[in-house]
A and B are shown apart, each in its own frame.
Chain A
Amino acid sequence: MAMAARRGATANRGQLVGILRGFSSSSSVVDSWQKNKEGIAGGKPLNLFSAINQALHIALETDSRAYVFGEDVSFGGVFRCTTGLVERFGRKRVFNTPLCEQGIAGFAVGLAAMGNRAIAEIQFADYIYPAFDQIVNEAAKFRYRSGNEFNCGGDPLWSCWPWWHYHSQSPEAFFCHVPGLKPSEAKGLLLACIRDPNPVIFFEPKWLYRLAVEEVPDHDYMLPLSQAEVMREGTDITLVGWGAQLLVMEQACEIAEKEGISCELIDLKTLIPWDKEAVEVSVNKTGRLLVSHEAPVTGGFGAEIAASVVERCFLRLEAPVARVCGLDTPFPLVYEPFYLPTKNKIVDAIKATVNY
């Protein structure tokens, strides 16, 4: 379902979209994507990186001032998301940059500030930190500090402490939009991000690039940002997540269901701004909340959700808000299955919350 792009007051200025690859490296088994209850109808089966690729093709096709750039994008990118773009749109619009994330981000800010759509790729989310200054101090504050004289940017962002280990990090708590990642949704959300008049960061979980497959329509369409989706209806407990973690949470819900617990699962899709109303409505129905994310628990985005829900639903809550998240350590390779918020941990937390 296509949506007209919102045009801000300064529509002649640019948009900056950062695309981060390699959001997580969880190796758990993929459940079937084919139960696509509220997805987009029609189209042919595509996996995630192909859907992203399609969105980029459309973005460049529909806007002659859109650019895609980053490390290794010319040959198609290390995850193949930029395949075919150079051949179709030429080297001046799709190009490799030198190996420098702060340069990529800073360059994108300037390009966007001149009225272009700057779609900058950061190869692995773990490598975004050199760009942090440009994103946080420049892109995010560009409009505000200039009194809207200029823009490529929007609201102030979180500041948190850094993590390490280097191809698996989930730095979303530091940033903003984190769309959910069904291929059809990825395409629609990415196009919406690209056309949003604010700088947007779009995270993609790399382990789903090939694994997630569903039917994706060919045409140009966008999905609304900041609109959460109830993926599964239930009455006993509300689960909130985003990105690849939803797969794990779905599995947990199936298991809980077999034990008589009815779970409502919400895909937040976007973190800033996040759909508080949808979560509030759900928690008012169920009286219980569980949030799950791969990023470390302390100071993770789950903390914000928990605090907000407690503010809004305090008297309705039957149990403390549960958070099933990554540990407060750097991401350890050999201990991955212990570190991650796996389905068994989620199931245990569902039961503990329901039986509180």
Chain B
Amino acid sequence: MAGRLAGSRAARELARRMGFMGSFRAGLSNVGGGPSLPVEICRRDAGGVSPCISSRVTARPGGEFPRGKVAFVAEMEFLAELLKERINCYRVLDDDGRTISGSSFKEVSKEMALEMYSGMVTLQTMDTIFYEAQRQGRISFYLTTIGEEAINIASAAALTMDDVVFPQYREPGILLWRGFTLQEFANQCFGNKYDYGKGRQMPIHYGSNKLNYFTVSSPIATQIPHAVGAAYSLKMEGKQACAVTYFGDGGTSEGDFHAALNFAAVMEVPVIFFCRNNGWAISTPTSEQFRSDGAVVRGQAYGIRSIRIDGNDALAVYSAVHAAREMAISESRPILIEALTYRVGHHSTSDDSTKYRPVHEIEHWRTARDPISRYRKWVQRNGWWSDENETELRKNVKKELMNAIQISERAEKPPLSELFTDVYDVPTSNLREQEALLRQTIQRHREDYPPDVPL
């Protein structure tokens, strides 16, 4: 059942049906609404350990403490470390690309659907070709987004250009959606003079002020608190926009994650925290990353409305981000989305994941659980796409990429002066001095320096 929804009240309705934790429950006083989940409690007698039993605690007259009123109880009961069941996962399409009966989702037009589909294919093709280029020694490094194309493209499609993005590094699809060209991607990977980053960082560290996509940096999770500060700015400006930040399961272990969520809740800012739970942080599986039920339950710990979704379902991602954005902006609140997925590729070109996970597991996710073929089935069943379209698209994208790589490879590097700019807004005296000394050294030893960096 398709839900045709518009407006923030409708978005809330959709959110309710999608099962956002913490929406529409006026149960617990002073806690801004909590879900009506059965509370699993362990009773501990004087003697020892009793088995956990489910119960509802009857409220008694309470007392005031700094945060407000709480009900007192005579029984000593500990909240269980885990709920009886894991938090449910929202999906729209089944594994065969059919809409699940009773599912609610934000409808997409044919044009939007095709744009999303071709975005996913383009991203996958770009990854394959750039990965190969690294293997051939043409670029120094690369990391792919294979398996997470739905997360990348569908979430981007649900945002507007005014929404400010703070990526980790596995989200180039957002940039692609927003109009970053294959040539621009190639320029950054080759670090040539057209790279907006001026050759300073490794490949895949893209950024674009124009497209509201903050430049990627390697350290994990540092971008998360940035997004919160940026969201506060948007709120103060009264803009109809939010901040969105992406990170992996590993990123949720960093201190920055916790600081950011707490700040966002207290400051009441319009930010979407998008966790790509792809099962692996280099070689570390999620079982060694946390013992909570994934990332989604942590939202509630900070007073943040959250949802768990099937990250390999393009329509689910699209709908959830759309709803999250509406709530974030209209209610000025943070939202946490945990998208379950799988990192099909190795962590990067410096990694061989067959060393720590079974090949059959990787192959299963590459094929049976591939988000692109799943979405393709839905698009084709609607009569919007054909095998001929597919072949044509892949051929054209590949050609464009090969061309872009050739052009990037031949282009000059940025000039030497850019080594010293942007440390500050203008170079300081010590930098000017160092530049002068360096130029003298180069004059004396020109042959020691790469010829493709103009002086």
Contacts and interface: CB of A to CB of B under 8 A. Distances in A.
A233 interface: no
A167 B202 contact: yes
Contacts of A164: 217
Interface in A155-183: 164-167
Interface residues of B, number: 48
B253 A334 contact: no
Interface in B309-329: none
A348 B450 contact: no
A348 B201 CA distance: 29
Most B-side CB within 10 Å, residue of A127, A298, A333, A339: A333
A76 B355 contact: yes
A101 B283 CA distance: 16
Contacts of B448: 337, 342, 344
A101 to B, nearest CB: 8
Interface in A340-356: 342, 344-345, 348
B329 to A, nearest CB: 31
B219 A332 contact: no
Contact of B199 (A71, A75, A98, A333): A333
A344 B282 contact: no
A328 B191 CA distance: 21
Contact of B419 (A95, A98, A338): A338
A100 B199 contact: no
A335 B444 contact: no
Contacts of A167: 202, 218
B112 interface: no
Contacts of A303: none
Given A166-B219, A338-B438, A330 B200 contact: yes
Interface in A109-147: 126-127, 129-130
Contacts of A98: 250, 253, 284, 288-290
A78 B350 contact: yes
A71 B285 CA distance: 11
A332 B200 contact: yes
A76 B419 CA distance: 36
Interface in B277-291: 281-284, 288-290
A102 interface: yes
A95 B290 CA distance: 14
Given A72-B284, A298-B430, A344-B441, A335 B253 contact: no
Given A98-B288, A103-B253, A335-B453, A72 B282 contact: yes
A126 B284 CA distance: 20
Main secondary structure of the interface of B (DSSP, over half): loop
B284 A330 contact: no
B450 to A, nearest CB: 6
Q: What interface size band does chain A fall in?
A: 35 or more
A332 B441 contact: no
A124 to B, nearest CB: 8
Given A167-B202, A338-B453, A126 B219 contact: yes
A130 B221 CA distance: 11
Interface in B409-455: 413-414, 416, 418-420, 423, 430-431, 434, 438, 441-442, 444-445, 448-450, 453
Contact of A333 (B202, B284, B430, B442): B202
Interface string B355-372: 110000000000000000
Given A330-B423, A338-B416, A344-B444, A96 B284 contact: yes
Contacts, number: 119
Nearest to B449: A337
B249 to A, nearest CB: 9
A74 interface: yes
A315 interface: no
Contacts of B355: 75-76
B406 to A, nearest CB: 19
A166 B253 contact: no
Nearest to B254: A100
B251 interface: yes
Nearest to A168: B202
Contacts of A103: 253, 255
B220 interface: yes
A327 B219 CA distance: 22
A127 B220 CA distance: 9
Contact of A165 (B200, B250, B284, B356): B200
Contacts of A344: 441, 444-445, 448
Q: Top 6 nearest A-B pairs by Cβ distance?
A: A334-B199, A166-B218, A98-B253, A99-B250, A75-B356, A334-B191
Given A72-B282, A334-B453, 15 more contacts: A71-B284, A96-B283, A98-B289, A100-B254, A103-B255, A130-B254, A164-B217, A166-B201, A166-B218, A167-B202, A333-B202, A334-B191, A335-B416, A335-B418, A345-B441
21 contacts: A74-B288, A78-B282, A95-B288, A98-B253, A98-B290, A99-B221, A99-B289, A101-B254, A127-B219, A166-B202, A329-B419, A329-B423, A333-B140, A335-B200, A337-B449, A338-B416, A338-B419, A344-B441, A344-B445, A348-B441, A348-B444
Interface of B: 140, 191, 198-202, 217-221, 250-251, 253-256, 281-284, 288-290, 350-351, 355-356, 413-414, 416, 418-420, 423, 430-431, 434, 438, 441-442, 444-445, 448-450, 453
